[in-house]
């Protein structure tokens, strides 16, 4: 086997994230990274680095009090690199230095999900970086100014916390410098809404954002008197927008009803709506919590589990199986119920391979979650099924929400969560491709036989 084939795009991506996690672990173990007089133990450093690189947000040590400013810089750097994608970042650096991108680098970026076509790699890389920095800067200014003017935070500290939370939100990481995440800002919509904006935009996916930019540029050209060609919105964009709007609205309604007399009790109507909306946006897959999920209703936990598993848009910072996958499966179910031979969405027929990929990805995700729940229930039987399922689902979908049991889990359970976070970030399909980096094409087909179903 040739070395280039052995280190294919999927394997390079998977190995790259492992190396970044290991580097982050070593840096977080240094005495300068923590407010303790000795080296940080390996497991807390590994768990934090894995959580940061995988854009999850689960923590075993309080980010704001345990880690020093240097440690926090390491964490936010790991988040930014994990969000941009270390392979995309390396290729972008090479492009800036040489003015070109190799074919091998293009394959690597495509395997990571940063672009949908080889012809647009250069533009996708630059657009990824520009949009990331612009969105993070806008949200950082909003939050920083609000902290300084309304919450009495010193200007320098407010600027740092604004930048930290903006990067964490846009990359859907969920890390916060506050011990209670953003619970102390539950009454401040000027904090919650910018965070929700950042995590929604980051979770839509870069292909979706690139299409927005392309259409906006075309309309601007038309406004200036030109005759641009405005292409029809892609199926991916329509599915992502429609599913995102449906999940946000549906989640808001459910959480408003389930927690109106629960954790949201006593809040004014407007504040309840903002917090219900934030509860609907955060599980997909930000990890900020403005309420205590340890006190939430079981229905809230169940719906949050569903939102976390579905996740956000493809080729972005969101985790989960992605909304497009859920749409494909839903369309296939509807077609089967109606007796239609073909599966279609928006007057476009879906190839059978797309449905097979969606089904395989969903099944792989369910297997990972099931194994994780089973192992944690064995190793930590003192926690309820709701708590363990919530924790594992949060790790797989790289969300970071927790009912408060993360730090109390045993060492084997924390290591299992590290593995689940890594798999959730790399993606079940990419992870499988990294293990078997080629597709086997048989030169024969077996006779067909239909089994009983149901």
Return the minimum-mean-pLDDT range out of 96-110, 142-156, 180-194, 299-313. 96-110
Tell whether omega for the bond before 356 is within 30 degrees of 0, i.e. cis. Answer: no
In angstroms, the CA 156 to CA 240 distance is 38
- With a cut of 80, say whether residue 433 has pLDDT above it: no
Would you state the pLDDT for residue 153?
93
In angstroms, the CA 166 to CA 449 distance is 55
Return the minimum-mean-pLDDT range out of 7-11, 121-125, 252-256, 346-350. 7-11
In angstroms, the CA 164 to CA 175 distance is 8
Would you state the pLDDT for residue 285?
74
Tell me the Ramachandran region of residue 343: left when phi exceeds 0, alpha when psi lies from -120 to 50, beta otherwise. beta
- pLDDT band of 59, cuts 50, 70, 90: very high
* Rounded average pLDDT over 412-418: 97
Query: Which residues 6+ apart lie within 8 Å of 168 measured at CB?
Result: 57, 76, 79, 174, 175, 176, 288
Specify the higher pLDDT residue, 129 or 368. 368
| H-helix or E-strand spanning residue 347 | none
* Rounded average pLDDT over 39-49: 96
Tell me the Ramachandran region of residue 75: left when phi exceeds 0, alpha when psi lies from -120 to 50, beta otherwise. alpha
> Highest mean pLDDT range out of 111-115, 365-369, 444-448?
365-369
- pLDDT band of 116, cuts 50, 70, 90: very low
Specify the higher pLDDT residue, 364 or 317. 364
Query: Which residues 6+ apart lie within 8 Å of 341 measured at CB?
Result: 335
**Mean pLDDT of the residues in the chain:** 84
In angstroms, the CA 332 to CA 335 distance is 5
| H-helix or E-strand spanning residue 153 | none
Q: Collapse the DSSP code of 126 into the 3-class scheme (helix H, G, I; strand E, B; otherwise coil) and give the result.
A: helix
**Cα–Cα distances in Å, from 389 out to 10, 291, 372, 396?**
29, 19, 8, 10
Query: Which residues 6+ apart lie within 8 Å of 366 measured at CB?
Result: none
Question: What proportion of the chain, given as a percentage, has pLDDT over 90?
Answer: 53
Question: Given 3-state DSSP classes, what are the helix, strand and coil percentages for the chain, each rounded to the nearest 5?
Answer: 65, 0, 35
Q: Collapse the DSSP code of 67 into the 3-class scheme (helix H, G, I; strand E, B; otherwise coil) and give the result.
A: strand
Residue 55 · residue 172 · CB < 8 Å: yes
Residue 117 · residue 106 · CB < 8 Å: no
* Rounded average pLDDT over 263-292: 91
pTM, two decimal places:
0.87
């Amino acid at each position: 086997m040739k070395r280039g084939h052995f280190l294919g795009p999927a394997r390079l991506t998977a190995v790259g994230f492992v190396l970044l996690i290991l580097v982050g672990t070593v840096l977080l173990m240094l005495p300068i990274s923590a407010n303790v007089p000795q080296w940080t133990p390996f497991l807390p450093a590994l768990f934090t680095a894995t959580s940061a690189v995988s854009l999850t947000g689960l923590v075993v040590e309080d980010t704001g009090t345990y880690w020093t400013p240097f440690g926090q810089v390491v964490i936010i750097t790991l988040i930014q690199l994990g969000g941009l994608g270390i392979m995309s970042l390396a290729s972008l650096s090479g492009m800036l230095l040489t003015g070109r991108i190799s074919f091998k680098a293009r394959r690597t970026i495509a395997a990571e999900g940063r672009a949908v076509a080889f012809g647009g790699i250069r533009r996708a890389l630059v657009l990824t970086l520009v949009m990331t920095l612009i969105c993070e800067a806008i949200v950082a200014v909003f939050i920083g100014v609000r902290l300084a003017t309304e919450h009495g935070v010193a200007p320098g500290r407010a600027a740092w916390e604004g930048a930290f939370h903006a990067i964490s939100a846009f990359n859907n990481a969920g890390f916060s410098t506050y011990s209670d995440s953003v619970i102390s800002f539950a009454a401040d919509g000027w904090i919650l809404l910018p965070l929700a904006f950042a995590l929604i935009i980051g979770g839509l996916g870069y292909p979706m954002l690139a299409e927005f930019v392309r259409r906006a540029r075309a309309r601007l050209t038309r406004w200036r008197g030109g005759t641009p060609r405005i292409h029809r919105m892609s199926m991916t964009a329509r599915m992502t927008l429609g599913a995102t709007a449906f999940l946000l609205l549906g989640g808001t309604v459910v959480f408003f009803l389930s927690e109106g007399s629960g954790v949201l009790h006593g809040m004014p109507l407007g504040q309840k709506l903002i917090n219900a909306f934030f509860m609907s946006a955060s599980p997909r897959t930000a990890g900020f919590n403005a309420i205590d999920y340890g006190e939430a209703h079981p229905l809230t936990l169940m719906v949050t589990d569903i939102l976390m598993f579905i996740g956000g848009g493809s080729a972005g910072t969101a985790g989960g199986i992605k909304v497009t996958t859920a749409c494909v499966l839903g369309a296939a179910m509807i077609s089967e119920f109606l007796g239609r031979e073909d599966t279609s969405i928006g007057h476009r027929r879906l190839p059978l391979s797309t449905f097979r990929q969606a089904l395989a990805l969903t099944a792989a995700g369910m297997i990972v979650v099931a194994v994780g729940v089973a192992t944690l229930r064995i190793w930590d039987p003192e926690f309820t099924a709701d708590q363990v399922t919530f924790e594992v689902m949060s790790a797989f979908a790289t969300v970071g929400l927790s009912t408060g049991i993360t730090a109390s889990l045993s060492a084997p359970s924390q290591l299992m969560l590290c593995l689940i976070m890594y798999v959730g970030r790399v993606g079940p399909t990419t992870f499988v491709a990294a293990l078997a980096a080629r597709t086997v094409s048989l030169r024969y087909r077996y006779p067909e036989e239909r089994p009983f179903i149901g």
